[in-house]
Amino acid sequence: MGCCKEEEPKWLWVNGPIIVGAGPSGLAVSACLKENGVPSLILERSDCIASLWQHKTYDRLKLHLPKQFCQLPLFDFPENFPKYPTKHQFISYLESYAKHFSITPKFKQSVKVAEFDGVCGFWKVQTQDFQYLSKWLIVATGENAEAVIPEIPGIDKFKGRVMHTSVYKSGTEFINQRVLVIGCGNSGMEVSLDLCRHNAIPHMVVRNSVHILPREMLGISTFSIAMALLKWMPLRIVDKLLLLVANLTLGSTDKLGLRRPKTGPLELKNATGKTPVLDVGALSQIKTGKIQIMPGVKEITKIGAKFLDGKEGEFDSIILATGYKSNVPSWFKGSDFFTEQGMPKTPFPNGWKGENGLYTVGFTRRGILGTANDAKNIARDISEQWREFKGFCKNFCTTKNLSDNQGICF
Ligand SMILES: Cc1cc2nc3c(=O)[nH]c(=O)nc-3n(C[C@H](O)[C@H](O)[C@H](O)COP(=O)(O)OP(=O)(O)OC[C@H]3O[C@@H](n4cnc5c(N)ncnc54)[C@H](O)[C@@H]3O)c2cc1C
Ligand SMILES: NC(=O)C1=CN([C@@H]2O[C@H](COP(=O)(O)OP(=O)(O)OC[C@H]3O[C@@H](n4cnc5c(N)ncnc54)[C@H](OP(=O)(O)O)[C@@H]3O)[C@@H](O)[C@H]2O)C=CC1
Ligand SMILES: O=C(O)C(=O)Cc1c[nH]c2ccccc12
């Protein structure tokens, strides 16, 4: 009987923290560490930095918060960037960012297991190729690591195309098609709008309530207004003001089949992570009927869908705009720092630090702004320990002809 003993993966000692994920969060924390004299190693499952932005977003995507809220620490956006940069501009900024700080992640390293070894006092991080060892583990895999694909009765029978928004690029593939868009967050709204602009016929499923705010109020971004008001008044009052202006400028969304939640938009974002829709044009297409609002789906049939109100419709394609989730529970083991949903249990602003050298960056439900905050906190914290640890490292590592961010093999 042939026996093939699986080869033990090679061990790599990392000089500095291990960062999992080369998105904006991983890059930001690596840059802040470097600024404090601490080397680090980023492990990235994909073949490039910012893979969410490069591989999983549609062509027409723009940041919907103004640029001052979306830049990473220590290195600003170029002056000539517009108020709302395009995704291509954002990616080129991130590439310059990595270059500026000489950040060279190790690509195609998908972390399968990460666990603290209490005996040796190190984090053991396993990818398909290696086992990495470090005193610090920084989780930067994001709140949007995997697409949420809900089980919708009958979806396997559907004859047309079914895709998640993470693979949608442009409406050019859907010209003249009747498309069912399931979900009405920012992705559902913007994909429906893009479909309209390509002469497709989108029908958007709204099974629940949703907050829609104008992206700007009197030429000032709604998000900037909210941030400014929050310095002076409680969240609930800010929410009331935002809703007052939203109702004045957009009219009642309830009449269009878009009921507002009882909880205000910012309070809801903080409590559940549900981001309010910042409208960039979908609402006016809903008003003209070019985007049709549909109730919850009862089941999908071969040729279309049956809805909870008893109506039926025929569709050529289905786009799941059903959101994203963290993937931390699938690879992070042996600690109860994270919830079952893969978010830190400790709420903002203290969720960035765990025990035994564990850190998280980008799990604040506050977009890039939250990332920048975490990255600075982590770098400050680790750099204090680093100075002490460096002495130990010097004795430990025999091979000295390696650059800062390479692992030492033994
Ligand atoms: C369509 C869209 C638009 C958005 N627009 C904005 C905006 O305008 N402003 C804003 O502030 N926020 C926006 N966000 C939120 C956005 O997710 C974050 O702001 C930002 O991308 C978060 O960066 P991150 O590095 O934390 O996560 P990500 O960008 O998701 O990066 C995480 C990285 O980790 C890698 N990874 C995951 N699992 C593993 C593993 N097991 N092993 C190795 N690598 C792994 C991934 O491949 C990825 O490269 C948007 C999100 C989406 C989906
Ligand atoms: N321009 C930009 O900057 C953009 C930013 N984004 C950001 O990306 C993140 C993800 O957004 P998005 O992809 O819209 O995800 P969201 O999680 O915000 O929205 C998911 C939507 O899908 C619905 N849904 C989930 N499961 C089902 C189901 N089984 N049946 C019917 N509906 C379902 C949800 O409804 P329910 O509420 O009932 O659960 C919700 O309407 C957000 O932070 C968003 O702001 C996204 C696009 C553009
Ligand atoms: O665009 C996103 O997904 C974000 O997470 C940005 C964001 C953080 N906090 C908010 C509050 C209201 C609208 C968007 C955001």
pLDDT higher than threshold 50 for residue 2: no
Residue 402 in this model has a pLDDT that exceeds 70: no
Domain ranges (residues) in the chain: 10-145+326-400, 149-323
- Confidence check: pLDDT of 65 > 70: yes
Is the predicted pLDDT of residue 398 greater than 80, yes or no?
A: no
Q: Is the CB of 25 under 6 A from ligand 1?
A: yes
Ligand 2: residue whose CA is nearest its atom 18: 185
What strands lie across the sheet with 304-307, from one edge to the other?
A: 297-300, 304-307, 312-314
The band of 307, judged by pLDDT with boundaries at 50, 70 and 90, is: very high
pLDDT at 248 over 80: yes
Task: Name the one residue in this structure whose structure tokens are 């390479």.
Answer: 406
- Ligand 2: atom nearest CA of 322 is 22
Q: What is the pLDDT of residue 189?
A: 98
Residues in the chain: 410
Q: Which tens digits make up the pLDDT trace of 87-127?
A: 999 999 999 999 999 999 999 999 999 999 999 999 999 99
Mean pLDDT, rounded, for 247-253:
95
Instruction: Establish whether residue 342 lines the binding site of ligand 2, counting it when its CB lies within 6 angstroms of any ligand atom.
Output: no
Structure token pair of residue 263: 């909880």
Q: Name, in order, each residue with C-beta under 8 angstroms of 261's C-beta and a sequence gap of 6 or more.
A: 209, 210, 211, 268
Distance CA 247, CA 358 (A): 44
pLDDT, mean of residues 16-42? 98
Domain 10-145+326-400 falls under CATH 3.50.50.60: yes
Q: What percent of the chain has pLDDT over 90?
A: 91
Overall pTM surpassing 0.80 (yes/no): yes
**What is the rounded CA–CA span in Å between residue 242 and residue 83?**
21
Residue 327 has pLDDT above 50, yes or no: yes
Tens digit of pLDDT for each residue in 155-188? 999 999 999 999 999 999 999 999 999 999 999 9
User: Does the CA dihedral 257-263-269-274 come out positive or negative?
Assistant: negative
Structure tokens of 275?
Answer: 């981001």
User: Stretch 118-147: mean pLDDT, rounded?
Assistant: 97
pLDDT at 409: 39
If you average pLDDT over every residue of the chain, what do you get?
94
Question: Confidence class of residue 377 from pLDDT cuts 50, 70 and 90?
Answer: very high
CB 89 within 8 A of CB 81: yes
Q: State whether the beta carbon of 140 lies less than 6 angstroms from ligand 1.
A: yes
Let me know if the fold of 10-145+326-400 is the same as that of 149-323. yes
What is the model's pLDDT at position 6?
A: 65
Closest by CA to 165, choosing from 2, 52, 327, is: 52
CATH fourth-level superfamily of 149-323: FAD/NAD(P)-binding domain (3.50.50.60)
Provide the pLDDT for residue 410.
35
| Distances in whole angstroms, Cα of residue 133 to Cα of each of 103, 110, 124 | 19, 15, 5
Ligand 2 near 186 CB (within 6 A)? yes
Between 403 and 219, residue with greater pLDDT = 219
Whole-number pLDDT of residue 389: 81
Residue owning the nearest CA to atom 3 of ligand 3: 367
